[in-house]
Structure 1
Amino acid sequence: MPRTVSSLLLRACLLFAGGLCAFTATALETVRVGFQQSGTVQWELQLMQELGLAEREGVRLELVPLATKDATHIALQGGAVDVVVDDWLWVSRARDEGRPYTCVTHSLAAGALYARPDSGITRLADLAGKKLGVAGGAVDKSWLLLRAYAQKTLGVDLAQQVEPQYGAPPLLNQLALRGELPAVLNYWNYGARLSAAGFREVISMRTVLTGLGAPPGLPVIAWVFPDEFAAQHGETLRGFLRASRAAKQALATDDAVWERLRPLMQAANDTEFRSLRDTYRQGIPQHVGPQDALTASRIFALLARLGGEALVGRGTTLATGTFWTGYAD
């Protein structure tokens, strides 16, 4: 074949391939995901990117790291991002206030009450007269639920029995590790680090919820997005959620993928790394979908009674549409 013809054919093939790549790139629809830099959701998001799970679903992820939880709220409400992770209680409250957000369950991971091994605390009753670190504040839902459980099982109000020390999760961990707090009620990822350091799990929030009559599989946090985004980009959103589920499946079954995430996890040692991995896996839901609304609604009334408007807003029941009906697996 003459060189000129061969050259023309090669150029044509390159142009075709380039055009195909350009078409593929433009075919991907972008989902902007805001996440708290210190949180654990970035583990899943990074894996989605590294394994190309979103691209397989026709989605290009644009990851937007943010400094705080409040910053994720601001970014979502200001239209800077399309999706964040938050509490479904926040979604219900927003809907009651006329801000139409909806959600799909992301994780069932709940915290626990942890005690120093030298504290003498092995059961809830042993907290009497002691300091207790409480992540969040006086209306943190885990604290309110633990108080309700103590009232039901022991007939006491923990707020009157202990000296609650409210604070940020990492600060409470530091105080507990230094021996300044004998026990801490903290979120799951901080609890996993305490467990790796030899702290005893006194009672998990799963046990608390079961004792209060909550159904199994209660959502804790969810992917949150505006109704408008779901209406206009429903198939793109479903692709993102399918990619999320694929990442969770890999995290649930493949130890090797965790090695990719190890730098993000900032585990102090192998024990802490395994504790974070195993605790994360316990929070992966088997299935997600609109049925989660029924599960959440059954605990909403209790939370509304315990925390009042400061926790749930002016709603007395879970707001209609809190959980998106457009996706199930």
Structure 2
Amino acid sequence: MMISRRATLRLAAFGTAAALVPRPSFATAPSFATARVRIGVLKFGTVSWALDTLKQHKFDTANGIDLEIIDFAGEDATNVAMLAGAIDIIVSDWLWVSRQRSEGVDLTLVPYSTAVGAIMVKEVAPILTIIDLKGKKIGVAGGPLDKSWLLIQALARRDHGLDLPATSDIVFGAPPLISEKAMQGELDAVLNFWHFCARLEANGFRRLIGADDAAKALGASGAVSALGYVFHDKWANENSDAVRGFIKASAQAKDLLARSDDEWLRLAPIIRAQGQELAKLRDRYREGIPRRPVAEDAADAGKLYRVLAEIGGDKLVGRAPAMAPGTFWQELPK
């Protein structure tokens, strides 16, 4: 029997209102004591795929937690809810976490995914290297301070003396619109989020250069997590078993997604993809599962922070010249 729970909390801060609506639970409440963990996510975001798997297979209850998934309409709303203490965990990037720590907020992060965007061009396009982007019309999702865009700009400047914003026609837009314009042939190249890139790959496009390629060229020794699970140090200190339970449950869900094609078929209606498109999303998701020690990830993020701070300036990172200590969570001793 499914339990249907629906509660709405209206939260206003910094002029932003967010509606928090828990998703229905997949199972009746366990008979043993569990810790409730509230995670806020974008309703149609890719994080929902892993969380759906986690709940479907009851990895949360198996690890002593009751995970409550709360949907949000936008990233700003999740950030506001986290800062207000309305939820326990969100997904965000280490740049935001570092900036919050630099300003006195005790947020920290556990790596979630290394999947990042890429410059995409049509298979038949006469664009073979980054230098060929000069003079082209480039669509960019996420805005001028998007990490992937800044990294690719930094590489173009260092290796080719090419200032892409100055020498190309840059068009910013929402990810779906950028992909649509690319499909219609209105853009020569696009930089989009990883899952939009994967869908383009299944529809006649190829990767010119990924943000991960740029990161490695700029000093990273391996794949750097683009996003992580974010929570307060204070909450983690007071709920150490719940944190460990959530991290383990998340790892079990990602492990299942890494090895089971059937699980992806089950998720197809949620992902809204099938056939070659679903397969490409599956493969790119699997490539983005973090597989190296957190200390290495954090060290490389620190290197990239300096690159991003130089090109993005105060608007991106505030006044902190280096990534704040503790941005990546140091697991508590048992």
Say yes or no: TM over 0.5.
yes
* Residue matched to 2:14: none
Distance in structure 2 (CA, Å) of the matches to 1:327 and 1:106: 18
Aligned equivalent of 2:224, options 218, 221, 230 = 218
Name the CA distance, whole Å, in 2 between partners of 1:217 and 1:118. Answer: 29
CA gap 1:293/1:226 in 2 versus in 1, 3 angstroms: same
Matches within 5 A, 1:140-155: 140-155=146-161
* 2:285 corresponds to which of 274, 280, 284: 280
Give yes or no for contact 1:102–1:224 (8 Å, CA) kept in 2. yes
Given candidates 21, 32, 37, the residue that maps to 1:31 is 37
Aligned to 1:209: 215
Which residue of 2 is the match for residue 322 of structure 1? 327
**How far, CA to CA, are the matches of 2:34 and 2:77 in structure 1?**
27
Q: CA deviation at 1:288?
A: 4.8
Q: Which whole-Å CA distance do the structure 2 matches of 1:204 and 1:289 have between them?
A: 22
Whether the aligned pair in 2 keeps the contact of 1:104 and 1:288 (CA below 8 Å) is: no
Secondary structure at 2:313 match in 1: helix
Q: Please, which runs of 5 or more residues in structure 2 have no aligned partner?
A: 1-27
> What secondary structure is seen at the aligned counterpart in 1 of 2:170?
strand
Deviations 1:138-170 (A, max 9, x none): 121111111111112212111112111011111
| DSSP 3-state at the match of 1:31 | strand
Give the CA RMSD over aligned residues.
1.7
Match of 2:315 among 300, 310, 321: 310
Determine helix, strand or coil for the equivalent of 1:264. helix
Matches within 5 A, 1:126-141: 126-141=132-147
Q: Which runs of 4+ in 1 moved over 4 A?
A: none
- Find the residue that maps to 2:294 and give its secondary structure: coil
List gaps (5 residues or longer) in structure 1.
Answer: 1-21
1:94 Cα deviation (Å)? 0.3
Residue range with higher mean Cα deviation, 116-125 or 74-83: 116-125
Q: From the CA coordinates, give the structure whose radius of gyration is larger.
A: 1
Letter of the aligned partner of 1:324 in structure 2? W
- Matched position secondary structure for 1:27: coil
- Indicate if the aligned counterparts of 1:290 and 1:324 stay in contact, CA closer than 8 A: no
Aligned twin of 1:166 = 172
Q: Contact 2:149–2:211 at 8 Å: present in 1 too?
A: no
Q: Which amino acid aligns with 2:266?
A: R
Code of the residue aligned with 1:39 in structure 2: it is: G
Residue in structure 2 matched with residue 103 of structure 1 by the alignment: 109
Contact 1:105/1:288 (<8 A) preserved: no
* Structure with the largest fraction of helix: 1
Deviation for aligned residue 1:26 = 5.3
Q: Distance in 1 between matches of 2:43 and 2:202?
A: 22
**Residue-by-residue CA offset, 1:49-86 (whole Å, 9 max, x unaligned):** 00111111001010001111111111111222110100
- 1:173 and 1:198 map into 2 onto residues whose CA distance is 12
Size of the alignment, in residue pairs? 306
> Judging changes above 3 Å, is the alpha-carbon distance between structure 1 residues 153 and 291 closer, same or farther for their aligned structure 2 residues?
closer
Match for residue 269 of structure 2 among 254, 263, 280: 263
Aligned-pair CA distance for 1:118:
4.3
Amino acid in structure 2 at the alignment position of 1:45: L
Q: CA deviation at 1:291?
A: 4.4
1:198 aligns with 2:201: no
CA deviation string 1:275-307 (max 9, x = no partner): 100000000011453443222112111111111
Aligned to 2:253: 247
What is the CA–CA distance in structure 1 between the aligned matches of 2:241 and 2:257, rounded to whole Å? 24
Instruction: Note the alpha carbon deviations across 1:195-225, whole angstroms, 9 max, x for none.
Output: 1111121111121111112120311100001
Q: Secondary structure at the match of 1:85?
A: strand
Q: Secondary structure at the match of 2:79?
A: helix
Look up the SS of the partner of 2:229 in the other structure.
strand
Q: Distance in 2 between matches of 1:315 and 1:78?
A: 23
Q: What SS class does the counterpart of residue 322 from structure 2 fall into? A: coil
Q: 1:9 maps to which residue?
A: none
